[in-house]
């Protein structure tokens, strides 16, 4: 008797998540070695500056030549501090790895770039007169969190919580944590200035874009799983 053994295809490594984290870390490290004036100049040149992005006095062609729209993308890879970088990269790793496995690397990369750029655009619209550059991958990471929420609504995340004198590992519903997080983003849109210069609407827009993207991608995900 001969038995046919079907060989399962090994899942591809999450190269998109790893690549994005690597680029952000390398860019941050390169900026830290620059003198303060050069660093500030790089932030203004490659960050999203709302007042320049929507400058009605500058012809549209000139804005394209000056790469103003492209800065919606380049700003995603710039971070201004260790906490800024570590926070975004930690969220990207936790939610990005499972999201990439479901969406596929190319679709995941598209969500990060396009979703992040659209989230930056939403943030710039709410701060249209601001001259300070908007930087960071928060909008893109929020899009990944939104996609994760739509793809794994019943998932549970492990947390280490201080209970008395000991640390206890607990598993809590991801939907509860994400719901609490997005609730804070809405709250901070009203009291945001007291918590620093953060474009909170960028997070909210990214989260919504991620949910919509995941829902639209469900047929493609089903085809991938069947294959």
Match 């000056």 to its residue by tokens.
66
Q: What is the pLDDT of residue 14?
A: 86
In a domain? residue 4: no
Taking CA atoms, 167 is separated from 98, 158, 170, in Å, by 26, 13, 10
In a domain? residue 9: no
**How many distinct structural domains can be found in the chain?**
1
156: left (phi over 0), alpha (psi -120 to 50) or beta: beta
Q: What is the pLDDT of residue 48?
A: 86
Give backbone dihedrals phi and psi of 7, rounded to 5 degrees, phi first.
Answer: -90, 120
In a domain? residue 59: yes
Residue pLDDT tens, the chain, 227 long: 334 444 455 667 889 999 999 999 999 999 999 999 999 889 888 888 887 776 656 655 555 555 567 889 999 999 988 988 998 999 999 999 999 999 999 999 999 999 999 999 888 888 877 788 889 999 999 999 999 999 998 888 766 656 555 666 667 788 888 888 888 888 877 765 434 456 788 999 999 999 999 999 988 887 876 66
DSSP letters spanning 168-199: EEEEEEHHHHHHHHHHHHHHHHHHGGGG-S--
Query: Vertex 164, ends 161 and 170: CA angle to 5°?
Result: 25
Give the domain range for residue 29: 15-226
In a domain? residue 212: yes
In a domain? residue 10: no
> Half-sphere exposure of residue 99, counting CA atoms within 13 Å on the CB side?
34
CATH of the domain at 88: 1.20.1540.10
Query: Vertex 147, ends 48 and 93: CA angle to 5°?
Result: 75
Taking CA atoms, 141 is separated from 44, 78, 209, in Å, by 22, 13, 11
In a domain? residue 188: yes
Q: What is the pLDDT of residue 3?
A: 42
Q: 226 is written with which tokens?
A: 């069947």
Beta-bridge partners for 158: 171
Q: What's the predicted TM-score (pTM) here?
A: 0.84
The packing angle between helices 116-126 and 200-226, to 10°, is 160
- Give the DSSP letter of residue 134: B
In a domain? residue 125: yes
In a domain? residue 2: no
Q: What is the pLDDT of residue 127?
A: 80
């Amino acid at each position: 008797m001969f038995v046919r053994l079907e060989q399962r295809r090994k899942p591809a490594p999450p190269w998109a998540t790893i690549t994005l984290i690597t680029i952000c870390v390398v860019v941050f490290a390169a900026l830290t070695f620059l003198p303060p004036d050069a660093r500030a100049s790089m932030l203004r040149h490659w960050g999203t500056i709302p007042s320049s992005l929507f400058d009605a006095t500058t012809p549209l062609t000139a804005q394209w030549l000056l790469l103003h729209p492209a800065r919606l993308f380049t700003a995603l890879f710039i971070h201004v501090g260790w906490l800024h970088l570590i926070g975004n990269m930690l969220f990207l790793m936790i939610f990005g790895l499972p999201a990439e496995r479901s969406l596929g690397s190319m679709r995941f990369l598209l969500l990060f770039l396009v979703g992040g750029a659209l989230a930056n655009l939403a943030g710039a619209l709410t701060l249209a007169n601001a001259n300070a550059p908007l930087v960071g991958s928060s909008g893109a990471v929020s899009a990944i969190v939104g996609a994760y929420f739509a793809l794994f609504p019943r998932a549970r995340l492990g947390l280490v919580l201080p209970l008395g004198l000991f640390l206890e590992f607990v598993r809590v519903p991801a939907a509860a944590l994400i719901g609490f997080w997005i609730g804070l983003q809405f709250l901070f849109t009203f009291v945001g200035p007291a918590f620093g210069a953060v474009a909170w609407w960028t997070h909210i827009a990214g989260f919504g874009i991620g949910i919509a993207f995941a829902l639209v991608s469900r047929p493609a995900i089903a085809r991938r799983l069947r294959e």
